[in-house]
Chains A and B, each alone.
Chain A
């Protein structure tokens, strides 16, 4: 079956980014090391006799993912700044939305890779039983990640071309990350607390609604960030 052009183009953009990443592997290794370090810092920032691991684990997990995602998103368009690569990308005979979707896919794969490294480490370091809830937990992580990476990809296309890019992206993005983060933390806490899946269905619906709305808004707005 022949895929529509826009989907193929998006995949080419994503593959280009992932190939660059795979050949150097600097960013992903740095992000993985960063996750380990953040988890270590959390270990020393708490009193293990006062707060039980399972109460703290959801916050630790999501704060770590938030920081890691911001690091990843900061570099998403940095790649295109060198040698005016973005101009080349814009001149290519593909739709603007394909570029956005391609970038989104590449960022998602990057962030999900970091998360796949982070979850077992959380289970290991903080002695949390992840395995019984691994399916639903993956669902929560996927839904939340799509939402904030969609907004982050849109914003990072703008912030890379401003002054103080590394500082501006978190300031702009965090207010947008906090609502999905709140829902994800609440849902994760209930799952790890052994509550049934029906308890978290409401949060999952909120996350899904956020994803749909913001992926749509970002698709509509992305051309305005790159057109001259």
Chain B
């Protein structure tokens, strides 16, 4: 199928470029003074975090439109986006502690942003579990849309509640109202990485979308007798 192949190509290109991000981050970007080499993980951590959150918002938006239009393509996209978002949230939750141990001296703290990401991850897990627990495709799509919309509505509340806590987490360096406060070489590496992660997101989503389309075709052929 053309779409699956396109998704594979995009992902392959993104993975090669990801290697490029590593090379650039390690060889051509200055070492941060107080954090040393540990800071290099930001080039993976922050773009993954940004896309994990955008993926949830896209799931919510696709869900809203699904309930109005009942277009199965929207449901397939929501599923794909949620799966990729789960992976990205997992990347954030693994790279975070790896950085936290040398810098904070602890793997985990109940810090605002950590808690938020964990919330996001659990929302995704619940959403995907619900999808797995409903056999009828139309019902699955409607149920998933309801949870997807609720999840999108919950995210601002979690934001609000966690920002009322004290935080150890570094404040935004690039995405803030004033100008980014980092050297140009670091900013370029970071923007490069953000672009690569965008490409990765697109590549993964296109593949998962094609896969769920093929699975639906298979289910239709099996007449529900297969191992749905």
Contact = CB atoms under 8 A, between A and B. Distances in A.
A179 B139 contact: no
Contacts of B157: 179, 206, 209-210, 213
Given A158-B130, A162-B133, A171-B126, A176 B154 contact: yes
B139 A161 contact: yes
A182 B162 CA distance: 10
Contacts of B142: 224-225, 227
Contacts, number: 70
Interface residues of B, number: 26
B139 A214 contact: no
A163 B133 contact: yes
A163 B135 CA distance: 9
A154 interface: yes
B129 A179 contact: no
Interface stretch (B36-44, B117-125, B177-185, B188-196): B117-125
Interface residues of A, number: 30
B91 interface: no
Interface string A129-154: 00000000000000000000001001
25 contacts: A154-B150, A155-B147, A158-B146, A159-B130, A161-B134, A162-B143, A168-B129, A168-B130, A172-B147, A174-B122, A175-B119, A175-B123, A178-B119, A179-B161, A183-B161, A202-B164, A206-B157, A209-B157, A214-B153, A217-B153, A221-B67, A221-B146, A221-B149, A224-B145, A225-B146
Given A176-B154, A224-B146, 14 more contacts: A162-B133, A162-B143, A163-B135, A164-B133, A168-B129, A172-B130, A175-B119, A179-B161, A183-B161, A214-B150, A217-B149, A221-B146, A225-B142, A227-B142
